[in-house]
Structure 1
Amino acid sequence: MPAETGPGDTAADAAPPPLDLIEDFVNTRHSDHDDLGAPRQVAEWFGSRALLAPGTAVSDAQAERARAVREGLRALIAENNVEPVASPRPDGLDPDARAGLAGLAHDLPLKLDVTRTPPRLVPATEAPLDAALAALLGVVVEAVAAGTWTRLKACREPSCRWAYYDHSRNRRRTWCSMELCGNRAKARAAHHRRTAPRP
């Protein structure tokens, strides 16, 4: 299933596979709703990406765990940004999310499967949703090794924070969409310049 597009995204803007899974996962949270708000939605999202078997039940606690992993990944990709933008609005990033992900990662171990060609990291747990979450963490490891991880970023616009893949040559893209979020930031900066007290 293709990743859901955000403000100004096109299929050409998407992260390359399998990193597009992380982009898609992080973008399940929107400013006005959450695609993973209920256990059924978590099961459907992971099932539609062949990360969970059809009909696998997900509990409230497991759904909460999936959302915690998502927010930890959001915090990680926000650190790939060149520089955060200053704004009076909340940016939607949980300051404790990275630490939370570090704790959860201990319970989502990966192991090296040398029976595959080439060898690869696979989940070391049999619990279905934990195995799916561990598989997502494996994608992060692969992206770091491939040098693509730092191109996955969070939009600098605090009211957005949509995950996007920076295809620019200099790796300095800052908004998911120049037409929407970039223009909002520029309009806000122009307003501050016009209304700032003159010396």
Structure 2
Amino acid sequence: MPARAETTAADDRTPAVMRRLVEFVNTRRADGDAIGTPDQLATWLHDHALLPRDTAVTAHERDRAARVREGLRAMLAQNNADPVSSPRPDGLDPTAHAELSAMTAELPLTLDVTSTPPTLVPATHGSVDTALATLLADIATAVAAGTWSRLKTCREPSCRWAFYDHSRNRGRTWCSMNVCGNRVKVRASHRRNSAR
């Protein structure tokens, strides 16, 4: 993934629930993993009001969170056009979507009929699994709001940075036209010149 000046590819125009999903997916960056250790995951979840401050996180829970993150990245990639040709390896784990699908049974949600409107909420409270289930509930919220298709990952295979597409026609494909979009244009130009 290319280096980024921005930290999350979400801004103040991005709905809060969607911003949380983008920020979670973008914890994996070119310069490291913001949830690479149990303590880092605990801090991130606490800072995003998903876990009580005094809750310890295990290495197994950290690994589970990373698998959920990669499954979410794969889901967001489905909201964008196919990746472009790139000499760099694809940033998506080909098994991530299937792993997330299997894990959703272990992260149960329930319908809170006391809220207006009724919403999906985690069936448990105060754990990493609660936080992960909350992120899954955020997906249902995005679908219900009609904003799910605006959450995408960059078409550049080596990037796959998550972003919220604010464009009117929902046609944005790059996390940054200046970085990834330009990189694709340069490669296309090079191919055309080489073919001459």
TM-score by length of 2: 0.92
Equivalences for residues 49-60 of structure 1 within 5 A: 49-60=48-59
Aligned positions, number: 192
Q: Give how far 1:6 is off.
A: 4.2
Name the structure 2 match of 1:123.
122
User: What RMSD, in angstroms, separates the aligned Cα atoms of the two structures?
Assistant: 1.7
Q: Which residue number corresponds to residue 6 of structure 2?
A: 5
Q: Which amino acid aligns with 2:11?
A: A
Whole-Å separation in 2 of the counterparts to 1:11 and 1:31: 20
After TM superposition, give the deviation of residue 125 of structure 1 in Å: 2.2
- Aligned position for 1:69: 68
Deviations 1:127-158 (A, max 9, x none): 61101100000000110111100111101122
Match of residue 165 from structure 2: 166
Give 5+ residue unaligned stretches, structure 1. none
Identity of aligned residues (%): 57
Please give the residue correspondences for 1:100-111 in structure 2 after superposition, counting only pairs within 5 Å.
Answer: 100-111=99-110
Contact 1:39-1:58 within 8 A present in 2 as well: yes
Per the alignment, in what secondary structure is the counterpart of residue 32 of structure 2?
coil
Measured after TM superposition, the shift of residue 115 of structure 1 is 1.8
Distance 2:81 2:11 in 1: 24
Measure, in 1, the Cα distance between the counterparts of 2:6 and 2:118: 32
After TM superposition, give the deviation of residue 118 of structure 1 in Å. 2.3
Q: How many Å separate the matches in 2 of 1:6 and 1:180?
A: 14
* Structure 1 contact 15–152 (Cα < 8 Å) conserved: no
Aligned to 2:183: 184
Deviates more, 1:31-40 or 1:133-142: 31-40
SS at match of 2:110: strand
- Alignment partners' CA distance in 2, 1:123 and 1:58: 18
Cα distance between partner residues in 1 of 2:70 and 2:14: 18
Q: TM-score, normalised to structure 1's length?
A: 0.91
